[in-house]
Amino acid sequence: MKSIVIVYYSGSGHTALVADSVAKGARSVPDTQVDLLRISGEQIQQGRWKDDATLAKLASADAIVFGTPTYMGGASAQFKAFADATGETWYKRGWSGKLAAGFTSSGSPSGDKLSTLLYLNVFANQHGMLWIPQPNINSAAVGRTDGVNRLGSHTGVMAQNTGAPGTPPVLDSGDATTAELLGRQVATIAKRL
């Protein structure tokens, strides 16, 4: 049994929808345990995040998938507070050799989401983790209309909230499929390692 943990922050709820899709894809692989851990503002005191239960869960994971909205051109402060709190784990090389992947959301097609994904990749590199990219090319380039990787991102999954401002978030069906496929890819590679 391999353990995949998806740790993410979501403000409006859109990134949570992406996280659910990643989980669905990972669960489609037999013998895979999938946990969703949502970072909350309550875990942050004076800009510092603390939640020992989350860190314990991550310590025993085979793969960690990181998710955050893109706010002002980067990972949300809430996600970053979580990342900053892993300094001791970093020092002890606690996550070294684990698998990593990532996803992010915003309202525009591009919206500087690559800045966030590059940060997640650097963060995983700091921990000595192996980065699993979003593996599919834009399906439109091969004549398909399923919307897989419709935005054209490889470092991780980019999802665009297509809901109107002030209404509940809407996850594009192509973005949902892309997220599922990333979850499946992570779980598949976890079984091989």
Residues of this chain, 60-89, that bind a second copy according to CB under 8 A? 71-78, 80-81, 83-84, 86-87
Stretch touching a second copy by CB under 8 A, among 18-26, 54-62, 106-114, 170-178: 106-114
Task: Give the C-alpha separation, 35 to 64, whole Å.
Answer: 10
CA neighbor of 22 nearest in space, from 157, 166, 148, 161: 157
Q: E strands of 99-147, at which residues?
A: 99-106, 130-131
- Window 42-61: residues binding a second copy (CB under 8 A): 42, 44-49
178 is an interface residue for a second copy by CB under 8 A: no
Count of residues that interact with a second copy, criterion CB under 8 A? 71
**Does residue number 10 form part of the binding site for a second copy (CB under 8 A)?**
no
Q: Does the protein bind a second copy through residue 110 (CB under 8 A)?
A: yes
Residue 41 β-bridge partners = none
In the chain the beta strands, taken as DSSP E runs, fall at 2-9, 32-39, 44-45, 48-49, 63-71, 74-75, 99-106, 130-131, 157-160
CB of 143 to a second copy, least distance (A): 9
Contacts of a second copy in 111-150 (CB under 8 A):
111-115, 118-119, 121-126, 128-138, 140-141, 149-150
